[in-house]
Structure 1
């Protein structure tokens, strides 16, 4: 660890105890403002370099050309999002794959269960091939990302999953972070298991049979669990049982999912409501952290977004989603998560995963009008996969959607150590802080007010990045690097600047 000079020590001390005044511009003198304090003392969690991640359906591997070194447009967007990320392959369709090791291998015969309208149809069946896995390795090498790989628990067996896992393990090598066996297992009683007998104990019994077999075949592999959809109580239940299990594989991560709202038809879910504080985020974090601490493992949010079932037009695909994405990532960082994976991918794979359609399209005046498919995807392909999506023809043009821009903005904290802050304000504004390796403190300020500009008075600083959109309902978001703040005014007390409505800024205290 490098030694601190007196000047560096004093700079860090001043930064850690700095105060930032926040007031509504042109407010009455009696109107309340707020003071943001960076509190010295015990440091917060350190944010991993690979905190930012994306989640895709395993069904995306049906097209071997999608995650491949030849898909340069997607590679560029992954690298643009973050230089060190985690691609999670899972989703509802992970329970309907089959491993086609050789061209002449025939698909398995399955008897479809009663279908829940929000789950993949019972007839869903697609192959994952060695070609897709080899291309995936090339894609990960090109992006410098690692992978969480989902194995089939719904219809999987030890025999079929071990064959696939062994090839994945050998091919991905150091790019494989861990195996995930099963997706949203708390919902299996809806369509994959007997609702009268399915619980944490039967899940562990099923999971251990496959995970232990994979561990035996791949001795150095790691695992995550349970990847629940919403029932966070599964995590402490698993933690309670864990030490008494006689044989268990190497688990490194507890995981769960989080969607801010849904279904798309819910009239209460709007761009404005998306930006209101969500107590359930903090509640889930506290339960998750306690369970992970008991098991001495990390914890990660591996699938989520603004609205389940593919997202909602006017909510998931607009600038409000960018502010939400940044805020959600910052909140998980503050709570010690090892990372976040927001869900997306091709419209076809996501539509199949939620019952065969993107329900948000029913809310559009013209469903044929250009729009990201799915609505919530962090990275969208402006074209479509040709034909059925399995012939390898891609448009090659990808764009970073608003929620992805929010993730990119929050990614500035990667590798930094969270600095605790206190902010009690009647205004819809949030703040987060983290110390960089050079000792300087980054402060992220998010003004979520729809029309109210804020006056910020802070110690001397430099603006390094902004997140902007024309309105909460604008279909574009822009993350811009700023060399030097030009619109601020320096005074003896520090710097004063205007934080416009619907605007986020990242400053570094000098």
Structure 2
């Protein structure tokens, strides 16, 4: 039978979508090292471009609730399996640029509400379809196509990293949303005093040793937004790294910062900020964020 399992090494309950089970597990197994559950927005066949761009405020409440319970456990609360849509993700949405904006917003919101870690589902298309007992997940015919399209064709729709041994491996759009969120890791969130934020705009700010990073996400499909910030250090230098693509449906081209070498296999991408006008003498700053894009803003400090 082997050695007994050390209860101190247990984690769980890895619930598919039931928050109550996680709370019961926390009370019943106080020595568990972490709490866990899964999250997907919906089944792939019920997803859409418009849907993935909508923030899930209800799940924010679940994360906050479970994160409070997670404080009693050594490694807190984790989403041990998550992504946009279950059943392999939605072709044309989960593998398009819209997924980068969703992943950026979802990851930062989860962290803000107290989640300790997120594990995103992914892998080759054939592996996911096999696990779904042969359910077809779509995908385009990439015969004769360029390498980015071939990688997309063999990759599960929701995978942040694409490819297989025949194509090589490369980042997919979702990867860069997660990477942008990762740049705020280890920093302390600021609570911003906001007034009349436009619909579809999400703003996060976090302070670290090298300054303050502000992320603005504009999920509007048609409207560019100008956001005004105040209470900043006058004349402070400002650097911006846009996260953008030709369209929200784009799956073959993406730019983060000033570098568009993002989706090719073995891409030598590096984060390069744009220098923009400094904070005004009055401590104000206006930043324009195009429709269907995001911006990472780096400031040396946030208040006078």
What range describes the TM-score normalised by the shorter chain of this pair? Answer: 0.7 to 0.9
Bigger helix fraction: 1
Partner residue, 2:146: none
Deviation at 1:492, TM superposition (A): 3.4
Kindly tell me: are residues 491 and 434 of structure 1, through their superposed partners in 2, closer, same or farther at Cα, counting changes over 3 Å?
closer
Please state if 1:477 is matched with 2:254. Answer: yes
1:490 to partner: Cα distance: 5.9
Give the structure 1 partner of residue 13 of structure 2: 226
Match of 2:6 among 200, 211, 215: 215
The offset of 1:283, in angstroms, is 2.3
**Which residue of 44, 49, 59 corresponds with 1:281?**
59
- 1:456 alignment partner in structure 2: 227
TM-score, normalised relative to structure 2: 0.80
Q: Could you tell me how far apart the structure 2 residues matched to 1:325 and 1:372 are?
A: 21
Change (3 A) 1:231 1:344: same
Q: Please report how far the alpha carbon of residue 351 of structure 1 lies from its aligned counterpart in structure 2 after TM superposition.
A: 1.6
CA distance in 2, matches of 1:346, 1:214: 33
* 2:116 partner SS: coil
Query: Would the alpha carbon gap of residues 344 and 489 (structure 1) be closer, same or farther in structure 2, given more than 3 Å must change?
Result: same
Taking structure 1 as reference, are residues 280 and 372 closer, same or farther at Cα in structure 2, changes over 3 Å only?
farther
The 1-side partners of 2:74 and 2:36 are apart by 13
Structure-2 residue corresponding to 1:433: 205
Structure 1 residue 239 and structure 2 residue 26: aligned? Answer: yes
Q: Alignment partner of 1:498: what SS?
A: strand
Instruction: Provide the residue aligned with 2:159 in structure 1.
Output: 377
Q: Which has the larger radius of gyration?
A: 1
- C-alpha RMSD over aligned residues: 2.6
Aligned to 2:137: 360
Contact 1:466 1:482 (8 Å CA) reproduced: no
Greater RCO, CA 8 A, separation 6+: 1
Tell me the equivalent position of 2:128.
350
What's 1:123 paired with? Answer: none
Deviations 1:104-159 (A, max 9, x none): xxxxxxxxxxxxxxxxxxxxxxxxxxxxxxxxxxxxxxxxxxxxxxxxxxxxxxx4
Contact 1:322 1:404 in 2 (8 A): yes
Q: Secondary structure at the match of 1:496?
A: strand
Does the Cα contact within 8 Å between 1:242 and 1:295 map onto a contact in 2?
A: no
Aligned to 2:105: 327
- 1:444 equivalent to 2:221? Answer no
CA deviation map 1:172-196 (0-9, x unaligned):
xxxxxxxxxxxxxxxxxxxxxxxxx
Q: CA deviation at 1:498?
A: 2.0
Work out whether residues 34 and 73 of structure 2, in 8 Å CA contact, stay in contact via their aligned partners in 1: no
For residue 314 of structure 1, the aligned residue among 84, 92, 111 is 92
Alpha-carbon distance in 1 for matches of 2:162, 2:250:
16
In structure 2, the CA distance between the partners of 1:462 and 1:482, relative to structure 1 (3 Å rule), is farther
Q: CA deviation at 1:279?
A: 2.2
> What is the total number of aligned residue pairs between the two structures?
272
- Unaligned runs of 5+ residues in structure 1 are 1-158, 163-211, 244-249, 385-393
**Deviation, structure 1 residue 297:** 4.8
Q: Following the alignment from structure 2 to structure 1, what is the Cα–Cα distance between the partners of residues 178 and 101? A: 9
Aligned-partner Cα distance in 2 for 1:352–1:307: 17
Determine whether 1:254 maps to 2:45: no
Shift of 1:308: 0.3
Match of 2:281 in 1: 492
Q: Structure 2: give runs of 5+ residues left out of the alignment.
A: 144-148, 258-270
- CA distance in 2: counterparts of 1:372 and 1:422, whole angstroms: 45
What residue is the counterpart of 1:265 in the other structure?
Answer: 45
C-alpha separation in 2, matches of 1:236 and 1:457: 40
Q: Secondary structure of 1:441's match?
A: strand
- Tell me how far 1:294 sits from its aligned partner: 4.5
CA 408–499 in structure 1, closer or farther in 2 if over 3 Å, else same = same
